[in-house]
Amino acid sequence: MKKVYFKTFGCRTNIYDTQIMIQNLKDFEVVESEEDAQIVVVNSCTVTNGADSGVRSYINGVNKRGAKVILAGCGAFSKGEDLFKDKKVFGVMGHSEKENINSLLHEKTRFVEMGDLNSLEKTIVSDYLGKSKAFLKIQEGCNFRCSYCIIPYVRGDARSQDEELILDQVRKLALNGYGEFVLTGTNIGSYGQDKKSSLGNLVKRISQIRGVRRIRLGSIEPIQIDDSFREILDEPWLERHLHLALQHTSEEMLRLMRRRNNVKRDLELFEELSSLGYALGTDFITGHPGESQEVWDEAYETLKKFPLTHIHSFVYSKRDGTPSATMKPEVRGDIAKQRLKDIENLVFEKNYEFRKTRAESLDILVEEKKDGLFVGYDQFYNKILIDSNRDILKEWVKIDNYEVKRDVNYAIFEV
Ligand code: SF4
């Protein structure tokens, strides 16, 4: 049996996609180490020019060892043809070909199978070895066209996974002992628009399945918080943390970025959700072209007003083929990095304040053990380190007494 190694770059959706490919392999053995493999499937990312070069140099390394390289993922669309022509890869497969991987790996001649950008896989991923929570990909693609983003061009327009298929998947995972479910996709807030449903309805149905204890949502766009979503905000099974992608807090930058959100409404929404007890995270890009010092100063002052607890920030990185790639004036890299640091520090302090003022008991799922301590996440998506005399890995624990340290919560748990 030939041995296959999967190398996954990029986002959570790619981790999920790799799992789908693994589940569709019949005649090959999946190995944990690249050195043991005759075939390496590279599930690539193309989100920035930097991501492309990372994938390219990884492939060069594998070629030197002589293993066969199959390119999958978003990079197959943007760079597949070039890499194929340069004979750097044996085969290129598009997103819709994931479920055909077994026969593609049998191919004796070099191939390019790009498939289409409209389909969605039917495979149900029913277990994640070694993980305590389960990821569910509920949709694929995006109908937005933010000016810096290549994703819609390589993953296609938004389409929702069949609701019954998702519910089946949750039932199986719940039977396998999973209690926490993380809903992912390219733009999950658009779920259901093509199916006369909505994210709110789907989440409600998932929550009714026996064994489902907590539901966590990936990134949602502020304009996607609709009435059906507001209906679930009081539900105990919804994680008390939401991640709403602002990307910026300057009206001018949102216009350049071709975003659909608006600073005034965003702030009102954040205040509303915060008053309901939610911890709030966001995505933010610093250094996009046009972000002058004046624009930045104003945006930073506005950001201070947002009740944020988590931030996923990026320095803008050029992606050829997007409108932003030709925009001027560009922002110097060191300035963009400093801005990133400033907002990360700001949100770090806000998170500390949030944890200090929260006098609730924490509902924690323990995910791993590191350096003798258990590591878990509470309902606000804050990390906690637990010193326990009992093995509590993958268990749910309720903790009332804990110490709020500057960077993380800490507890001693004795039974
Ligand atoms: S919402 Fe914007 S940033 Fe997010 S995937 Fe769609 S186009 Fe890209």
Ligand 1 nearest-atom number relative to CA 247: 3
Query: Is the previous residue joined to 329 through a cis bond, with omega within 30 degrees of 0?
Result: yes
> Which DSSP symbol is given to 119?
-
- Largest CA-CA distance found in the chain, in angstroms, rounded: 63
Structure tokens at 90: 């044996």
CA distance 15 to 118: 20
CA distance 371 to 365: 18
Q: Is the CB of 132 under 6 A from ligand 1?
A: no
Pairing of strands 362-370, 373-377: antiparallel
Ligand 1 nearest-atom number relative to CA 259: 2
Q: Which CATH superfamily does the domain covering 133-357 fall into?
A: tm_1862 like domain (3.80.30.20)
Q: Is the CB of 151 under 6 A from ligand 1?
A: yes
Ligand 1 nearest-atom number relative to CA 155: 5
Smallest CA-to-CA distance from 247 within 255, 238, 236 is with 255
Q: What is the dihedral of CA 283, 193, 141, 119, to 10 degrees?
A: 160
Q: What is the dihedral of CA 201, 204, 205, 211, to 10 degrees?
A: 160
**Residue 149 · residue 322 · CB < 8 Å:** yes
Residue given tokens 């801005």 in the structure block: 339
Q: Is the CB of 388 under 6 A from ligand 1?
A: no
- Provide CB contacts within 8 A for 144, sequence distance 6+: 152, 187, 221, 259, 260
CA distance 38 to 73: 20
Spans of all domains in the chain: 2-113, 133-357, 362-413
Burial of 58 (0-12, 13-18, 19+ CB in 10 A): middle
Residue 128: predicted pLDDT: 64
What mean pLDDT, rounded, does the chain reach?
94
Residue 127: predicted pLDDT: 59
Task: Give the residue ranges of the chain where pLDDT is below 50.
Answer: none
Q: Do domains 2-113 and 133-357 have the same CATH topology?
A: no
Measured from the Cβ of residue 333, the count of other Cβ atoms closer than 10 Å reads 12
CATH classification of 2-113 is 3.40.50.12160, yes or no? yes
Best probe residue, ligand 1, of 186, 191, 256 (max atoms within 8 Å of C-beta): 186
